[in-house]
Structure 1
Amino acid sequence: MTATVTTDRLTVTTDRLTRVPGLLYGGDWNPEQWPEQVWAEDVKLMAEAGVNLVTVGVFSWARLQPDADSWDFGWLDRLLDLCHRHGVAVDLATATASPPAWLVRAHPELLPVTADGVRLEFGSRQHYCPSSPAYREAAVRLTRALAERYRHHPALALWHIHNEYGDHVQECFCPASAVDFRRWLRERHGGIEELNRSWGTAFWSQRYTSFEQIEPPRTAPGPVNPTQLLDWRRFCSDALLALHRAEKAVLDEVSPGVPVTTNFMSMLKALDYWEWSRHEDLVSDDAYPDPADPRAHVNAAMNYDLMRSLKGGRPWLLMEQAPSAVSWRPVNVPKRPGLYRLWSLQALARGADGVLHFQWRASVAGAEKFHSAMLPHRGTAARGWQETVRFGAELRRLGEIAGSRLRGRAAVLLDWDSWWALELDDHPSARMRWPELLRPWYAALHERGVTVDFVPPTAGLDGYPLVLAPNLYLLDTATADRLTAYVRDGGRLVCGPFSGIADRHDHIHPGGHPGPLRELLGIVVDEHWPIPDGETTAVRLDGTAPDGPRSDGAEPHGADLRAERWSEWIETEGAETLARYASGTLAGLPAVTRNRLGAGTAWYLSCHLGADTGRVLDLPLAEAGVGAELPDLPADVEVTRRHAADGRQYLFLLNHGGVERRVPLDTPGTDLLTGAATGDAVTLAPLGAAVLRLPAAEERP
């Protein structure tokens, strides 16, 4: 069901994730681990907790198919019938994440091989080569059998392919992978001479005369060709995606009309989620912020913004989170009282239409037996169970927000190709890694209450008054032209260091850095100047540092900011200098610049400012008129606004701090969590939250 409405800020299109009304609540249910008499107790407790969707069958391949020629669907028939009778919808998994022992022993060649030539063994999960014909054939066969049997079952609400692609196995270096890699290279490059040009094989006598001479980038005596490594990263993402698409093609053919998903893993380097999301009916994510990290909610918000952005702002599904502690960190800290609720509401605040968990009932055996569950080992007497029930009731009160959307006023460019290339070896510094570059920029916006959308480099930027590019190491001229047009037409672009360096083949752009961004930014980089570990360089915002570079290392009095990891010797070519280096060899040289081009401006940060990044971003934020959803936002309070098709708005207020906060409001509303009307402010307890229904514009006094 889809509806649209135009508000004063954006056009809202609502999309329901499944046919299940309201918000989705539940988690992974693994009944094959339990006697059937436990199942009846489970569904009764699900009703008590308000569970309306469970994921079933994720790791049940060995139970469903005991050997190559036998099937056992009887237990799953009874399970789905039981769910339907008790009003619980099913997200049915294709069970292909872990091949059974009989398949592995019949086809040992499907086990993955490391770059060092070690074949990994059976006994964990995801023990398969992505390019294995035997694995793919068996997975597609199982998917078809499930689809044909359950396509019309009334409990079926969603298909769930595989589980967490790329979690344990992201690549394989076996002979089958080599064959598949060569096929992929032929399709990408055409002929061998084009590959030689793309890979720059004139260097170190690496020229090939045949595709058959090419192997995966296994462990070598020294550095491996960087473009080969970049193509390998692209290939590995595509190889796993080909498996997913093969299963989805079966489901689309046999079970049309039932949405299909696979659970992503937040901002995962290995898989290009822009490309993957094109093949998803809905985006779902597994998120496990660390309760021991006092800033974990900031990184979680960033990941949730990405999930919402992958399908252009459509609602998404939190497929997995931990009700309390996980089992796989060195120290697994539980969620203190109130934190589970707050973090669950945060996913909704960032556009999710459901909160699911791993898992429903805590396991008594296996690698995840100490992982928390909605129904803990202690059962209904446990603190965790009480939180499960309470939050289920609150979700029912929030059901009307389902289908509503939110959109950021600032966009962040994210390019997986550039991420992969940035983190290859033999660069000026191994400390320039995309997540570490991105997080201070995102944290600054989060602290200022600015909602962010992520966009791919091919996206249109109309409607965004501000676009941020913390790093664009890999940049083609087409993307640079789009960014230039965006600025000329009145946009504001902020670009981070070490950008515009290489083209899509990881070849350095001619004419000096930042390559095709040089005219747009109005600067040229003379030399990269990495900062050694443990050292910092002073940066002065007022531009009063001494003229010319210094060699004495002295630090002038009054330097405002600290750069770490990275700096650059740059010269302006039309840009104005807004901050200068104030210590070290670069003292007096530009550090932050602004270039006016057409109706817009382009900013360049030539250094990594870490926690001080926000003090620079305040300038373009003000110039672009981008601010918080609410003015005077208290510290530690997160605010987002979802827009419904009927014009109503839903304001989420989340207090991540340890003290009470009073939040002034611009419009009174009703707190859906309590039913109470608000005045001109809301008071939030520590770890407290409010979800306010605000009237449509025409309903306001």
Structure 2
Amino acid sequence: MHIGDQWMQLRSSDKTLDQAFDRPFPVGVEYYRPPVPPPEYWDEDFRRISAAGMSIVRVWYSWDWVETLPNHYEFDDLDRLFDLAAQHGLKVWVDTPLGTHMACPAWMLRSHPDMRIVRRDGSVQQNTTGAFAAHGAMTHNFDHPMWRVYVERYLRQFVPRYKDHEALGVWGTWDGIGYAGAWTAPEPYPPYNDYTIAKYKDWLYHNYTLDALNERLLRRYRSWEDVDAPRSKAAPVEMRLYLQFHRENMADHLGWMADLIDRLDGTHEQRSHGGSYPGPHHETVSPQIDSWGLSHHSSNRLTTDEPYSIACEAYGFQWCRAMGRNNRWWNEEIYGSFVGGLHPTEKKTLGQESALYIWLTLIEGGAGAMFWQYRPEYMTYEAPGLNIAALDGEPTERFDAATATIAQIDRIANHLPLAIPRADVAIAYSGPSDDAFDFNDQGVQFIQHHRALYRTLWAQSEAMDLVTPAMFWSEYSMVYLPHFAVLDEGALARLRGLLQASDGPHLVADGYFGTFAGKGHWSFKPPEGLSDLIDCRIADFDVIADFDVGAGKNVVQMECGTFTLPAGTTYSILEAQGDTAPIATIGDEVVGVRSADGRFTWYGFALSATASSQVTGQPGAPAPAGLVHDEVATALLATAGVESWFTLTGARIVAFRRHSRQGGSLIFALNVERHPARTRVQPRWPIGSARNLLGEQNLALCDGAFELTLGFGEAAVIHCVDI
């Protein structure tokens, strides 16, 4: 296998993307995963979906359902669905899950037994199913040389058949992009088929001489024949390189498919998506496609005593905006809770929560919102759950809430699309650091740490952006670097540029900052690559033990107060040098320092250890999850000179500033608490008037402020004339 001369060069072409829909912010629903629901229900369901103001029905059209014999395609049901959708004024979002989730045709595996995925232990993936794929989940490796041959033949039948149909809306080119077999793998490793390893070695050969590879991997290979793929994350240096190959490999496959579909169509939008939080592969694969997106959880937020944990979803929305080409993204899978068949583990999603996810998608610049799904998945124990209609197709409160929200958004259509002003605060994500934690079985904890300050500041109505080292940071007032452990060339270039500049953002690092070199091994002189610019060294490491908690030795003294740290909190013991000043201690040990110019602050422990939440933000993740204490977060902003866009007095709400297409600002306000909120809103910028667009009334201004009253789960949209 060879990587070819066009490695990662192909992608979807730039195109106009908003012409397919009759609304500036379309909402839709996943509807058909063959063979359910049966066709006799479609007409009435489509009538109800259209009457609700929804614009899209989504189809998950699996390969094994269509190409039942070699080069023999059965599109009869999809033909009928397209025609019926057109009759009801709906667009079809059609997924072609050729590289993910669903099974390839059985005849393909019989013809090519070596197409089955080989795991790292040499075992071969057998036929299987999943909650998302009752009649077959993915068993094939898309690196097989015949995969592209069959995919191209299939797409040359599929795309021309529907590209000119009036109902076509969006091509779902690659849903949930991941390693081959990621959705059926018993453990999170890529495939190890001979042809995949041969492709990896060819990739190495194109990027390294043998001597350079030895230097990169700290090995003594004397022949290319000795080079093999690593089979354990316990070897982080080699595994980091192997996963880099696989991420580029996914991007190459995605770009090839996107280019092919564009050559066959070239008009309609193509999309792919990741998960509900950052992933190390997202920045590599997302540029290959027109728009990015996510699936996300939706329950056990407003049904807990921590309703502001809904920020976990807003965090994922912001990440998608950061990753999408030209910031274009879709909220393509709003789940209606993972109920879990006959043994429910979660509360149902409330209608108010479903409505708020639509609003938050709009607020965070989404191209549109999609529910997963209309009816439940009748064929598996994914049902009952995820749905907005009941088993008999009748509306649930989630459907009714979506209907009402769509009608409200229609009333502000002339202000859309929104423009989102740059925030003063950025939270930086490091994919290599995510890998380092994942390799040590701490991947879930890494995301919880990374999300911790976002959750706290979101509840305080503080605007934030999510960034990576590949993006510009210089215009922010503060950039937070949670567990920025691995400092590779990109991260070092960004950090050195800012530290050497005469002005720029206040940098706040915490946790295992700079403890790993870019290759993936522990640093020989932390902070890696920055010891000439940062007058501080790591003297040692320690952890808060149960004994420390019992003896009261788990207290960190910070400038803003003292905070108790839970058992298991790890920390670096810092040794300040030169003019660098200690600012935080645990007992006699320094765990926080600040540079003489005040622009760099380093805490040796994760700030997420200062508070906690029982809502983890990820299904199945152990509680509690870390949070940054309100007082710590407020102190960080004050040190960096950051002020909120609003002063809010009275009951707590969450407020956002956006720019209207009509000029002026839009203030979105949400109430996530189970009681009415009466709040005085004072914008930081001067306004001449304020109009409640949903209430269709002008608001009285007093010293530039106005009052709002919001019920549980309600939203307000205020158009302000800025002066």
Instruction: State the TM-score bracket (shorter-chain normalisation).
Output: 0.7 to 0.9
For residues 431 and 60 of structure 1, what CA distance do their matches in structure 2 show?
A: 31
Alignment pair present for 1:673 and 2:694 = yes
SS in 1 for 2:288: coil
After superposition, give the CA deviation of every residue in 1:489-541 in whole Å (9 maximum; x if it has no partner): 2321111121222332124444x211223344431111122334785521112
The one-letter code sitting in structure 1 at the alignment partner of 2:210 is I
Match of 2:369 in 1: 355
1:50 is matched with 53
Deviation sequence 1:573-612 (CA, Å, 0-9, x none): 2354353324xxxx23322221144xx6111111123235
Aligned residue in 1 for 2:673: 657
What residue number does 2:624 align with? none
d(CA) in 2 for partners of 1:633, 1:137: 63
Q: Separation in 1 of the partners of 2:646 and 2:83?
A: 48
Q: Is the 8 A contact 2:478 2:507 kept in 1?
A: yes
Distance apart, 1:160 and its partner CA: 0.9
Q: How does 1:72-471 map to 2 (within 5 A)?
A: 72-96=74-98, 97=100, 98=102, 99-124=104-129, 125-166=137-178, 168=183, 169=185, 171-188=190-207, 190-201=208-219, 207-218=220-231, 224-269=234-279, 271-291=280-300, 294=306, 296-311=309-324, 314-327=327-340, 331-380=345-394, 382-406=396-420, 407-425=422-440, 433-471=445-483
Deviations 1:462-515 (A, max 9, x none): 3211111112211135533432432432321111121222332124444x2112
One-letter code aligned to 2:574: I
Letter of the structure 1 residue corresponding to residue 245 of structure 2: F
Change (3 A) 1:232 1:381: closer
Distance 1:485 1:618, change over 3 A: farther
RMSD, aligned CA:
2.9
Q: 1:391 to 1:258 in 2, by over 3 A?
A: same
CA shift for structure 1 position 572: 1.0
Code of the residue aligned with 1:142 in structure 2: it is Y
Q: Deviation digits for residues 608-652 of structure 1, max 9, x if unmatched?
A: 232353433433411333232311366753222222344232222
Quick one: structure 1 residues 363 and 15, their matched pair in 2 at CA, closer, same or farther if it must change by over 3 Å? same
**8 Å CA contact 1:513, 1:526 repeated in 2:** no
For 2:64 and 2:253, the matched residues in 1 are separated by: 19
**Aligned residue in 1 for 2:134:** none
* 2:478/2:506 contact within 8 Å kept: yes
1:684 corresponds, among 710, 714, 717, to: 710
Q: Which amino acid aligns with 1:94?
A: T
Q: How many Å apart are 1:398 and its aligned residue?
A: 4.0
- State whether structure 2 residue 40 is matched by structure 1 residue 37: yes
- Return the match for 2:583 from 574, 579, 582: 579
Residue 308 of structure 1 aligns to a residue whose secondary structure is helix
Cα 1:369–1:481 shift into 2, 3 Å = closer
Cα deviation digits, residues 151-208 of structure 1 (max 9, x gap): 22222222111321235156112222222221222233x222211111112xxxxx32
Q: Which amino acid aligns with 2:212?
A: E
Task: Give the letter aligned to residue 525 of structure 1.
Answer: I
Q: Which position in structure 2 is the counterpart of 1:491?
A: 505
- Identify if the C-alpha distance between structure 1 residues 430 and 381 changes in structure 2 by more than 3 Å, giving closer, same or farther: closer
C-alpha distance in structure 2 between counterparts of 1:689 and 1:248, whole Å:
38
| Offset at residue 455 of structure 1 (A) | 1.4
The change in CA–CA distance for 1:146 and 1:431 in structure 2 (over 3 A counts) is: closer
| TM-score where L is the length of structure 2 | 0.83
Q: Which stretch has the larger CA shift, 89-98 or 377-386?
A: 377-386
What letter matches 1:121 in structure 2? Q
Name the residue aligned to 2:8: none
* Partner SS for 2:387: coil
Give SS of 2:565's match: strand
Q: Which residue of 2 aligns with 1:639?
A: 655
The Cα shift of 1:304 comes to 1.2
How far does residue 674 in structure 1 lie from its aligned partner after superposition?
A: 3.5
Residue identity matched to 1:287: H
What residue identity is the alignment partner of 1:284?
G
Equivalent position of 1:5 in the other structure: none
Q: Residue 603 of structure 2 corresponds to which residue in structure 1?
A: 605
Q: By how many angstroms is 1:297 displaced?
A: 0.8
Q: Which 10-residue stretch deviates more, 657-666 or 381-390?
A: 381-390
State the secondary structure of the residue aligned to 1:303.
helix
Q: 2:69 aligns with which of 67, 70, 74?
A: 67
Contact persistence 2:583–2:594 (CA under 8 A): no
- The AA in structure 1 aligned to 2:518 is R
Deviations 1:389-442 (A, max 9, x none): 3333233234345421323221122121222134334xxx96994213213222
State the 1:384 CA deviation: 4.0
| Letter matched to residue 63 of structure 2 | W
| Counterpart secondary structure, 2:670 | strand
Residues 618 and 382 (structure 1), Cα distance of their counterparts in 2 relative to 1, 3 Å cut: closer
The residue type equivalent to 1:455 in the other structure is V
The amino acid of 2:20's aligned partner reads R
Mapped to 1, the partners of 2:699 and 2:145 lie a distance apart of 61
Q: Deviations over 1:440-472 (max 9, x none)?
A: 222232233222211121222132111111122
- Deviation string 1:654-697 (CA, Å, 9 cap, x unpaired) is 222223322222355333333344341112223332222323x2
- Identity score, percent: 20
Measure, in 2, the Cα distance between the counterparts of 1:402 and 1:112.
46
Q: Is there any run of 5+ residues in structure 1 with no aligned partner, and where? A: 1-13, 202-206, 544-557
- Counterparts in 2 of 1:522-537, with a 5 A limit? 522-532=535-545, 537=554
Give the counterpart letter for 2:514 in structure 1: G
Q: Is the 8 A contact 2:351 2:398 kept in 1?
A: no
Which deviations, in whole Å up to 9, do the C-alpha atoms of 1:266-322 show, x marking residues without a partner?
Answer: 2254x5211222112112211113326635412112111111111377342100112
Q: Using the alignment, how far apart are the partners of 1:646 and 1:443 within structure 2?
A: 31
**Partner of residue 641, structure 2:** 625
Query: Counterpart amino acid of 1:390?
Result: A
Question: Conserved in 1, the CA contact under 8 Å of 2:86 and 2:166?
Answer: yes
Secondary structure of the corresponding residue to residue 457 of structure 2 = helix
Letter in 1 for 2:432: D
- SS of residue matched to 1:187: helix
The secondary structure found in structure 2 opposite 1:652 is strand
Tell me, in whole angstroms, the C-alpha distance in 1 between the residues paired with 2:33 and 2:511.
Answer: 51
Q: Give the match for residue 9 of structure 2.
A: none
3-state SS of 1:513 partner: coil
Offset at 1:360? 2.2
Q: What SS class does the counterpart of residue 306 from structure 1 fall into? A: helix
- Which TM-score applies when normalising by structure 1? 0.85
